[in-house]
Amino acid sequence: MAFGQSLIDWASLDAAGRKAALARPAQRSAGDVTEVVRTILEDVQTRGGAAVNDWCVKLDGAPPRRIAITPETVSKARGDLPPADVRALRMAADNIRVFHQATRPEDTAFIETTPGVRSKLAWRPIGAAGLYVPGGTAPLFSSLMMLAIPAGVAGVRERVAVTPPDKSGGVHPAMILAAAEAGLDAIWLIGGAQAIAALTFGAELDDGVIPACDKLFGPGNAYVAEAKKQAAALPGGPAVDMPAGPSELMVIVDRDSAPEIAAADLLSQAEHDADAQVLLVSTSRATIDYILSEVEAQLEGLPREAIARASLAEARAILVRDLDTACEVANLYGPEHLAIQVEYADELVDQIQAAGAIFVGRWAAETLGDYAAGPSHVLPTDGGARTLGGVTTASFMTSMSVQVVTEAGARALAPIAARLARMEGLEAHARAADLRSEG
């Protein structure tokens, strides 16, 4: 069987068993990952660009390189791709832009809570965003668009995109076109934890300067995820978007589901990375058996079969009593991607409390969301969906409250504020309020 464990009967498990059934792959938090990342970050913090260069040569097999997005490089990249590929990329970029423009936060109207006391929220873009684009085993130019386009819509002044070089030390032409569609002026070929370190501390390199960024974005392997975590924990370190590590997909099915579609979706995520995890949850044992047979049949001959098989070693097939229980399992796991492929799938959406993105019904393929539907596919993993959402335009912005008070408003509100301040033992606070209420 392709999946790493035999069928799991949810009803037969105690609390510890259920926790184990939904555990993420252990390699994501392995001690060697933590120590390697700490070493790289400390080295770059100490030696700057020289350390970045050394780690790139050691781990990427090439020194850091800046690819300028010029009319010449864009024209060459366009010529290296079939016209249909270029059109597909442009259509996807347009959809991403349309969605994020429509969902960009705007300043609220003033709200008067007390006569003469008005407040609102004002939104501003962050100054510099570091955008990590995976590319070690596949050039994920879609992730570049899913990050850089929302950042551009938000108005971020400085967008710094980094991605690992390919085996020849270069970059896929689609990555250059994606950068052009997003309006970037360059891409840096740097991968792994050393890229996160460069974005965290800044680095002077032979091809130019990478600035220290205010916030880091993007998915990656275990080393990238750990580097973001450690960078955010540094005093004065950058903010990060979310835990965005190896991909996850949970598919909920019933007797009416299409096994070939469910199997294809599971494999679409398993081929991402050996650390990716897929889960199948169903009310029907027969359906589970059928889908697992389909997974095995479709797995044969895939170009990334070995990666998919490694991922499937951490896969789970879970039998539940009913769809309400399936939703409970989904909320406990908090998947990055959740596909609901059951009859009347839309009726289950209200029961889902924790998922990065929900794909409703058999036609809503997770792959459509990965590339062209519009919302960003950069989503929280490792259970982060229980408290965090995916990347949006708002992710690249901050909100500030703006308070405007008239003299009459101050006279009305100051006595209340002063009394509350004295209840907390903060006399200076109270006196600052008193001064606003004195005639």
Tell me how far apart the alpha carbons of residues 415 and 257 are, in angstroms, rounded to a whole number. 63
**The one-letter amino acid at 343:** E
Give SS3 for 155: coil
Rounded to an integer, what is the distance from CA 76 to the centroid of its chain? 31
Listed in sequence order, the residues at least 6 apart from 197 whose beta carbon sits closer than 8 Å to its beta carbon are 40, 41, 43, 44, 45, 51, 52, 55, 203, 227, 231
What is the C-alpha separation between 356 and 359, in angstroms, rounded? 10
256: closest CA among 350, 344, 322? 344
% helix, strand, coil for the chain, step of 5: 50, 20, 35
337 included as an active-site residue: yes
Catalytic residue among 100, 172, 272, 337: 337
Whole-number Cα distances in Å, 18 to 8, 140, 321, 339:
9, 34, 14, 21
Where does 48-82 have alpha helices with state H? 49-55, 71-79
Q: Is 401 exposed, middle or buried (0-12, 13-18, 19+ CB in 10 A)?
A: exposed
Considering the candidates 181, 314, 336, 366, report the single residue annotated as catalytic. Answer: 336
Closest CA to 289 of 316, 325, 259: 259
- For residue 156 the two structure tokens come to 């971020």
Pairing, β 111-114 against β 117-125: antiparallel
- Contact between residue 175 and residue 34 where contact means Cβ atoms under 8 Å apart: no
List C-alpha distances in Å: 124 to 26, 157, 397.
Answer: 39, 11, 5
Q: Which residues are catalytic?
A: 336-337
